[in-house]
Amino acid sequence: MRYGWRWITWAFLLVVLFLTLFPIVITLLGSLKTNAELTAGATLLPLSWQFGNYKEAWSTAGFGTYSFNSLFVAAMATAGTLIVASMAAYVVNRMSFFGKKIYIGIQAFTMFVSIGAVVLRPQFELMIDLKLHNTLWGVILILISAHASAFFILLSFMSGIPRELDEAARIDGCSPASVYARIVLPLLAPGLGVAGLFAFRGAWNEYLLPFVFTLSKPELQTLTVGLANLKYGVSAAAQTHYMMAGACLSIVPILVVYVFANKSFMQMTAGSLKG
């Protein structure tokens, strides 16, 4: 019976693996076909491998500019999210202040209740007042403000750092800011890796905010917006082969970030198993 459940488990995992990888494989193969061949959909493998699609997508379709804009937004939003969320987690975990439970409740509320495009107009009007409505900095600030998930991830990691280290540092003359920067932050590295991966992925995949904020400035469009704009070409024909090439290119940064953050996931898993 035990071996029967083991085979069922392996069969289930193989099915999940197939369902996960199949769309990626189809996209990769589609990016190496001609547009006519891809539209016809007669064969799975390309009749002639069009590696030039990636070159055309990068240069002609402007994916170089879009990729730079996406990297800029994702990097700045991730850095800002980690700074704000780690500071908030440090204060909540290490200090007592009026309204602490209310603050945690508000963070949880913003995490579990999504009102989507309803807040888009007030956010845009706020950025108009700040003169940031025609820049990517407006998008970055809004993405940083949605840091509830990173806050709770870092708060969980913060609870595992002994408070005795804080007390020893304060005896040596460190201020709370010095304790945070010199003691807590280095020990929080695994949590920063995990939270950073989710923050980067969210900022990289964001579509609506960059679309609205770059309507009047196409040169500031991110990769997700530029990819969607390739749905119709100059001649009103769908450029599906370029879209798939761009989709494959957009996966690469996420894979690179995951490789660097993989060690943090392993430490988090080891810690949970040990506990």
In tens, the pLDDT along 80-103 reads 999 999 999 999 988 888 888 899
* Angle value at C-alpha 213, between 132 and 226, nearest 5 degrees: 140
Here the tokens at position 12 are: 């289930």
Condensed to tens digits (0 to 9), the pLDDT of residues 197-220 reads 899 999 998 888 898 888 888 888
Select from 3.40.1710.10, 3.40.50.2300, 3.30.1330.10, 1.10.3720.10 the CATH code of 62-229.
1.10.3720.10
Say if CB 223 and CB 210 are below 8 A apart: no
Condensed to tens digits (0 to 9), the pLDDT of residues 91-147 reads 998 888 888 889 989 888 887 766 666 778 888 888 989 888 888 999 999 999 888
Condensed to tens digits (0 to 9), the pLDDT of residues 222-268 reads 988 888 777 665 555 667 777 888 888 888 888 888 877 776 655 55
Here the tokens at position 39 are: 């539209």
pTM beyond 0.85: no
Residues in the chain, overall count? 275
Domain ranges of the chain: 62-229
Place of tokens 């939270």: 195
Cα-Cα-Cα-Cα dihedral sign, residues 136, 27, 56, 253: positive
What pLDDT score does 239 carry?
A: 74
**In this structure, what are the phi and psi dihedrals at residue 60, rounded to the nearest 5 degrees?**
-65, -45
Count of alpha carbons within 13 angstroms of residue 190, beta-carbon side: 16
Say if CB 52 and CB 201 are below 8 A apart: no
Q: Looking at residues 174-189, what average pLDDT do you find?
A: 87
Please name the residue ranges forming H helices in the chain.
2-30, 35-40, 52-59, 63-94, 100-112, 120-129, 136-145, 148-158, 163-171, 176-178, 185-187, 189-205, 208-213, 223-229, 240-274
Say if CB 255 and CB 64 are below 8 A apart: no
What pLDDT score does 140 carry?
A: 94
> How far is 244 from 239, CA to CA, in rounded Å?
9
